[in-house]
Amino acid sequence: MPNNNRTRMIAGNWKMNETYSEGVKLAQDLSNELKANPVDGVDVVVCPPAIDIKGVSGVIEFDHAPFALGAQNCYWEESGAYTGETAPNMLVDAGCTYCIIGHSERRGYFGETDEDVSKKAKALIAHDIVPILCCGESLEVREAGTHVSFVVAQIKAALSGVEIADGSKLVIAYEPIWAIGTGKTATADDAQEVCGAIRGALNDIYGADKADAIRVLYGGSAKPGNVAGFLSQPDVDGALVGGASLKAPDFAAMVEKAGE
C-alpha cells in the first residue's frame, strides 16, 4: 500500500503489437487473470493499438474486465482533413478514459514535440480523457549528468498552458529512453531522483494540492521481478509497462505487487 493518498496505477502500453483478434484474446486473458486474483486499490489501464481499441472496449463492457482503456496517441483537432489521425472525441466514443502522449518513440520516430504534446494534453483534458504524459532522457543526456534538468524542462514545456481541475486528471510517466525495451532498468533510486524532481516541477506549475494528487509512473523494462522496488519509492506511483504487458500473467503479477 502506498504511504500517500495516491491510488497506484499499472498501465500497459502494447505499442504496435497484437492484431484485432489477438488483442481481444489478450484482453480476455488479462480479465480472467485479474478476476481470478482480485486486487483492490490499483488502477489498471490497457493501451492497445488504435485498431484494437473497440475490441478491447467490448471485453470491458461484456466481460466486465477490471481495467480501463487508453489510447497510445491522438490528434488535437476535433475533426477534419487529418488523414490517419484520431480525435479525442473518437476515443471517448470508443470507451477510452486515458491516452498516452509524448512517448519517446513518437518523439523519436514521428517528430512529436513538446508543443504538440501540450496541444494534445489540452484537447484530451477538454474531453475528460486523462493524458499519460511521457518524458525521459536519452543515454547521452544521462551520461552528461543533466537528466534531471532535462526532464524537468520537458515537463514544463509539455504542460505549458495545460490547466487541470484536480490532480486526478493527469498522469506523468518517466521513461528513460535507454531503459526502454533494452532490459536495462533504471535503479529504484534513479527513478526516485527524477520522479521526485517531476513532482517538484508539478508543484511549481499547479501548487501542492494538485501536484500531490498527480500520479507519476516509472517505465522502462519494468517487470514482475523489479516493480516492487520502484513502487517502494515515495514519488513513484506505478508503472507504464511495455513488453511485460503483452503477457497476461506477467501483467497481472505486476498489478498484484502494486496492491501489496
Query: Does residue 221 bind ligand 13P (CB under 6 A)?
Result: yes
Single out the segment in contact with ligand 13P by CB under 6 A; choices: 114-122, 137-145, 205-213, 236-244.
236-244
Q: List, in order, residues 6 or more apart from 116 with CB less than 8 Å away.
A: 76, 102
Query: Does residue 70 bind ligand 13P (CB under 6 A)?
Result: no
> Mutual orientation of helices 188-206 and 147-158 as an angle, nearest 10°?
40
Place of cell 489521425: 85
In this complex, which beta carbon is closest to ligand 13P, that of residue 210 or of residue 254?
254
In this complex, which beta carbon is closest to ligand 13P, that of residue 10 or of residue 214?
10
Q: Which of 38, 41, 108, 181 binds ligand 13P (CB under 6 A)?
A: 181
Query: Does residue 73 bind ligand 13P (CB under 6 A)?
Result: no
Beta carbons of 225 and 140 less than 8 angstroms apart: no
From the number of C-beta atoms within 10 Å of its C-beta (0-12, 13-18, 19+), residue 121 rates as buried
> Mutual orientation of helices 53-63 and 20-36 as an angle, nearest 10°?
30
Q: Distance from CA of residue 83 to its chain's centroid?
A: 25
Nearest residue (beta carbon) to ligand 13P: 242
Query: Does residue 240 bind ligand 13P (CB under 6 A)?
Result: yes
Query: Does residue 242 bind ligand 13P (CB under 6 A)?
Result: yes
In this complex, which beta carbon is closest to ligand 13P, that of residue 55 or of residue 238?
238
Query: Does residue 222 bind ligand 13P (CB under 6 A)?
Result: yes
